[in-house]
Amino acid sequence: MVTLKGTKVVAGIVIGRLFVYMHPDKHVSRATVEDTDAQIRLFNDARQKAIEQLEEIHESSLPYLGELNASIFVAQEMLLEDKQYIDYVCKQITESKYNAAYAIALASDEFSRLFTSIEDKYMQSHVADVRDVSERLLRILCGAEGEMIQPLEPCIFASDDFSAGDIVGFKRENILGLATMFGSQVSHASILAGTMGIPSIIGLGQEMLSIYDGRCAILDGIKGELIIDPDKRTLDRMKRKQKEYDEHQRMLLLLKGKNNITKSGEYINVYANIGSAEGVETALLYDAGGIGLFRSEFIYIESPTYPTEEEQFNIYKEVLEKMRGRKVIIRTLDLGTDKQASYFRPEKENNPALGYRAIRISLAQPGIFKTQLRALYRASVYGNLDIMFPLIISVDEVKQIKEIINEVTSELDSEDIEYSKDIRIGIMIETPAAVMISEQLAAEVDFFSIGTNDLTQYTLAIDRQNPKLESYFSEVHPAVMRMIEITVDNAHKAGIPVDICGEAAADLNLTQAFINMGIDALSVSPNMVLPLRKKIRECD
Ligand code: PEP
Ligand code: MG
C-alpha cells in the first residue's frame, strides 16, 4: 500500500481502478531557421486551427457547463488573438530565428512568468490559460491534434496535469475522480472539476508514476490523499468514511428549503460569498439566502484592462437576475496588497496592507469609482441590490462616498436612466478604527458587514498573508471577539443590521457565540451554507 499526499480540491471519496496518462514529453527542441516566413505561417495556421477547436469545445460544452463556465474557452480564443502574445512569438521567430514550436514554448514560459510575478494566486488561472493555449498550439504543430486518451470505463484518472479543455472532453460517467502531479487549486481546471462535482486532488508530486496504472486506488478528496493498493483494513475504513460522507451530503441537501432557525426560534440569514458571476450557480445550488459579499475586484483582476461600465453592468445584471430578488450585496473595488490587476500598478509600497488599497483607491481615482457606481446603479433595477464599501476608517470617507453617489445618481437622472431607489448603502468593518467609531458610522449607513479577515489582521498586527504567522492569526482572539461585539452593539443601537462576511462566519465553533452576540446574518463560501444551516438549527 502506498499513500501519496497532495492538496484537496474537490471533496468526496472514490474507490476504483487508477488510469494513469502522462502527457507526452513537452520538451520542444530549438532549431535555427532560415525561412522565418514559413515558421510564421506555421504558427498562424496552428493558431487558426486552435481557434476553431476552441470554438467547437465552447459550443459543445455550453449545454452542460453553462455560459459562464464555458466562457473559459472564449478567453483562450482571445489569448490566441492577443497582439502581445502573437508579437512575442513572431519576434522570437524573426529576430532570434527560432522555429515556431520553440518560439511558442518561450512565449508560454514568458507569459506564465509574467502572470506569476503578479503574486496573486488568482492570476494563476491566467497562467493555466497561457499554458493550455500554448500546449494546444504545440500539439497541432506536432500533428498530435487528437484529444487526450481517456478511460473507457469508470476509473480514477491520474495525470501530470489537466487542462480545462481536457476536463470538458471527458466522458463524465467514466471519471470517478481526478488526481494530478502538479496543478493549482484556483486553475480553471480545478474550478471546472468543482463545477462538475468530480472529487479531485492536485500536487501529488513526482511520486505519481505511471507504474501505478491499473492498480486499485482510493482518492480521498477530503484529506487530499491518493491511496494505492489499499490493504483490507484501509479499504474497509475508507468505505465507511465514504458512506459517512455521502450520507452527510445527502442529509445536508435535505436542508435545502429549510430555515436557518435556532432551537429557540431565532432566524439568522445565511448568505454566500462569491468572486464572480459563476459563483451564483453554486450559491443557488446550496440554497444561499442571498449574496452577502460579491468581491467585485475579481472582475478587475480578470480583465486585461479596466472593465468598462457596460462590461460591469452586464455582470451585475446577470448576478441580480439569477438571484431572482434574493439579496445581493456587491462590494466595490478592493484592489491592493494581494489583489492586483496586471494593468494597475501602484508604486511599490513597504507596507501594502497598510497602503493604497480598497476605498482609498476609489476615492483617490473617482473616475474608476464612478464607472463602477454607474454600472451598479444601472443594474439595480434587475434585482435586490445593496452596495458596500471596503476598509473604511472614517465618517469623512462615508460622506465623500455619498457625495460621489449623489453625483452619479444626478447624472443618471439627467440621462433618464432608471435605477432602484431602494439600494441600501453599507460599509465593511475591517479596521479597529471603524470599530471604535462604529457608533458614528452607524448613523451614516444602512448596514455593517464585518470583514473578520482584515479585522483580525489589523487588530492583532498579524499579516494575514504570512504563512509563518499562521498560528498567531486567530479570529477567536478575545480582542477580535470584543471588536465584533462592540460593532454589533453599536449597529443595533442605531437600528441597523450587521453581518459577518469574513472567514470566521464559516467557523462552526463560533456560530453559537455570534448568535449570542445578536449577529443578523453570516456570509460564507457557498459550500458552507448548508453545514452552517445545520449548525444554526442545533444552536440555542
Ligand atoms: C475580510 O477582510 O474579512 C473580507 C471579507 O474581505 P477580503 O477577505 O476580501 O479582504
Ligand atoms: Mg477585507
Per-residue pLDDT band at 125 (split at 50, 70, 90): low
Q: Is the pLDDT of residue 28 over 80?
A: no
CATH architecture of 2-22+148-233: 3-Layer(bba) Sandwich (3.50)
Domain 269-538 has CATH 3.20.20.60: yes
Q: What percent of the chain is predicted at pLDDT more than 90?
A: 62
Ligand sitting nearest the alpha carbon of 301: 1
What does the pLDDT average to over 476-495?
Answer: 98
Residue 508: per-residue pLDDT: 94
Task: Output 265 or 343, whichever has higher pLDDT.
Answer: 265
Task: Output 424 or 298, whichever has higher pLDDT.
Answer: 424
Per-residue pLDDT band at 149 (split at 50, 70, 90): confident
Q: What percent of the chain is predicted at pLDDT more than 70?
A: 95
Q: Is the pLDDT of residue 147 over 60?
A: no
Extract the runs of DSSP E, i.e. beta strands, from 409-529: 424-429, 447-450, 498-500, 521-524
Cα separation, 533 vs 511, whole angstroms? 10
Cα separation, 354 vs 337, whole angstroms? 8
79-119: pLDDT as tens digits: 899 999 999 999 999 999 999 999 998 998 888 888 777 65
* C-alpha of residue 196 to centroid of ligand 2, in Å: 30
Question: What are the φ and ψ backbone dihedral angles of 350, each rounded to 5 degrees?
Answer: -70, -35
Instruction: Take atom 4 of ligand 1 and give the residue whose Cα is closest.
Output: 451
CATH architecture of 36-142: Orthogonal Bundle (1.10)
Question: What are the φ and ψ backbone dihedral angles of 501, each rounded to 5 degrees?
Answer: -120, 0
Q: Are 170 and 193 in contact (CB under 8 A)?
A: no
Residue 18: per-residue pLDDT: 93
Ligand 1 binding pocket (C-beta < 6 A) is 293, 295, 334, 430, 451-454, 501-502
Instruction: Take atom 9 of ligand 1 and give the residue whose Cα is closest.
Output: 295
Q: Do domains 2-22+148-233 and 269-538 have the same CATH topology?
A: no
364-407: pLDDT as tens digits: 999 999 999 999 999 999 999 999 999 999 999 999 999 999 99
Choose one of 291, 428, 449 to mutate for the ligand 1 pocket test, by most ligand atoms within 8 angstroms of C-beta.
Answer: 428
Per-residue pLDDT band at 138 (split at 50, 70, 90): confident
Residue 499: per-residue pLDDT: 98
Instruction: Take atom 8 of ligand 1 and give the residue whose Cα is closest.
Output: 453
Go through the chain and tell me how many residues it has: 540
What does the pLDDT average to over 260-286?
Answer: 91
* C-alpha of residue 514 to centroid of ligand 2, in Å: 19
- Helix 100-117 to helix 36-80 angle (10° resolution) is 40
Tell me the β-bridge partners of 271: 523
408-448: pLDDT as tens digits: 999 999 999 999 999 999 999 999 999 999 999 999 999 99
Choose one of 430, 456, 462, 499 to mutate for the ligand 1 pocket test, by most ligand atoms within 8 angstroms of C-beta.
Answer: 430
Scored b (16 or more CB within 10 A) or e, 415-432 reads eeeebeeebbbbbbbbbb
| CA triple 163-167-169, angle to 5 deg | 115
Residues marked as catalytic: 188, 501
Specify the ligand 1 atom closest to the Cα of 450: 3
Instruction: Take atom 10 of ligand 1 and give the residue whose Cα is closest.
Output: 454
Per-residue pLDDT band at 197 (split at 50, 70, 90): confident
328-357: pLDDT as tens digits: 999 999 998 777 787 887 788 889 899 999
Choose one of 297, 331, 453 to mutate for the ligand 1 pocket test, by most ligand atoms within 8 angstroms of C-beta.
Answer: 453
Hey, where are the domains in the chain?
2-22+148-233, 36-142, 269-538
* C-alpha of residue 453 to centroid of ligand 2, in Å: 6
What does the pLDDT average to over 225-234?
Answer: 94
Residue 195: per-residue pLDDT: 67
Per-residue pLDDT band at 186 (split at 50, 70, 90): low
